[in-house]
Amino acid sequence: MARLVTLYSLQWGDLSLETVCEKAKSFGYDGIELGLPDHLDVRQTDPAYYQGIKDLLAKYGMELRTISTHLIGQAVCDNIDSRHKAILPDYIWGDGDPEGVRQRASEELIRTAHAAKALGIDTVVGFTGSSIWQYLYSFPPVPESMIEEGFKDFARRFKPILDEYQKLGVRYALEVHPTEIAFDTVSARRALDALDNHPAFGFNYDPSHFGYQGVDYVGFIYAFADRIFHVHMKDVYWNDTPTQAGVFGGYVTFGDPRRFWNFRSVGRGKINFEEIIRALNHIGYQGPLSVEWEDSAMDREHGARESCAFTKRIDFQPSAHAFDSVFEKK
């Protein structure tokens, strides 16, 4: 049986959850990846609230395997400034005191694990933020001690969160991504080492964030075979010839044609999804393939519909036996 193809709801946060379900069903999706805070309030403690969400999803035949808390998770380790006020709920932002914001975001991540448990799922996807992302380009020269302190800060803040996740039987999947503590294969390994390989911590695999960086995005799957907890289907295009704004983006917005790279609808960029599916089959991944649709140049309903069809077409299950085994004489 092919893997579930789900739609991540964060890019549809301007619509009600019921409207998103209606649209996802019409586009051909099997389920929804619920995005916080627009489509789920994890402060709710009444079981009837979570039952209501399950009933709504069932009404449209939508499976639920994952909830995602990217915006809240970003605030746990970040150096907080006015940008965060724009993405955080008022009850997380509060008075804007940076440490207070980080603490409230951490508490919200723990509440998210309880919400996942109430919904009967075991995977939460999100970001971590990073206190050292601004040191990406090492000039003035960055002492190794500063980078090490950033990973220690990450571990201090996330280990207590992950301990609570483990108690509840829930896993936290970091989307490896620029601006997070892990943004490529090397930093992902270092993040795991900083956490002493905490069993509740793994990764949400999204190849789009690796491709334009020049990272081996298929090799990442093999490197972390036991830590791929969830998969996002998202494509990216990068130019073969020089552009006005390079890998760092030149301070221009997504979709600007002067950029070296831009996200694209699945199947319209340069990511080799055939090899990704084969690698996921090799490691035995049977979780959802969740479309995180982002393409600044395309109507989102058109893109969501074609991304679903592309993902279902490209996905396949591994063979139960070697093709040449039928040649053997008994």
**Model confidence pLDDT, tens digit, residues 282-307:** 999 999 999 999 999 999 999 999 99
What pLDDT band is residue 325 in, cutting at 50, 70 and 90? low
**Model confidence pLDDT, tens digit, residues 66-77:** 999 999 999 999
Q: What is the pLDDT of residue 164?
A: 98
What pTM was computed for the model? 0.95
Answer whether residue 38 shows pLDDT above 60.
yes
For the record, the structure tokens of 299 come out as 């109507």
- Per the DSSP assignment, residues forming a β-bridge with 249 are none
The CA-based dihedral angle spanning residues 31, 32, 33, 34, taken in that order and rounded to the nearest 10 degrees:
-150
Q: What is the pLDDT of residue 242?
A: 86
Average pLDDT score over the chain: 96
CA distance linking residue 248 with residue 258, whole number of Å:
12
What pLDDT band is residue 324 in, cutting at 50, 70 and 90? low
Q: What are the CA-CA distances from residue 245 to residues 35, 234, 263 (Å)?
A: 31, 22, 15
The dihedrals phi and psi of 238, each to the nearest 5 degrees, come to -130, 150
Answer whether residue 322 shows pLDDT above 70.
no
DSSP 97-142: -HHHHHHHHHHHHHHHHHHHHHHT--EEEE----SSGGGSS--SPP
Residue 70 neighbours by CB under 8 Å, 6+ apart: 10, 35, 125, 126, 127, 175
List, in order of start, the domains of the chain with CATH numbers: 5-319 (3.20.20.150)
- Tokens 């201090």 appear where? 156
Mapped onto helix, strand or coil, the DSSP state of residue 267 is coil
CA distance linking residue 160 with residue 166, whole number of Å:
10
The dihedrals phi and psi of 290, each to the nearest 5 degrees, come to -105, 120
CA distance linking residue 258 with residue 30, whole number of Å:
36
Q: Which of 116, 125, 120, 88 is nearest to 103 (CA)?
A: 88
- Tokens 């039928």 appear where? 326
For the record, the structure tokens of 319 come out as 């063979």
What pLDDT band is residue 319 in, cutting at 50, 70 and 90? confident
Answer whether residue 79 shows pLDDT above 70.
yes
**Model confidence pLDDT, tens digit, residues 191-214:** 999 999 999 999 999 999 999 999
Q: Please, are residues 60 and 25 in contact by the beta-carbon 8 Å criterion?
A: yes
Q: Please, are residues 108 and 114 in contact by the beta-carbon 8 Å criterion?
A: no
Residue 118 neighbours by CB under 8 Å, 6+ apart: 47, 50
Q: Please, are residues 20 and 60 in contact by the beta-carbon 8 Å criterion?
A: no
Q: Please, are residues 208 and 237 in contact by the beta-carbon 8 Å criterion?
A: no
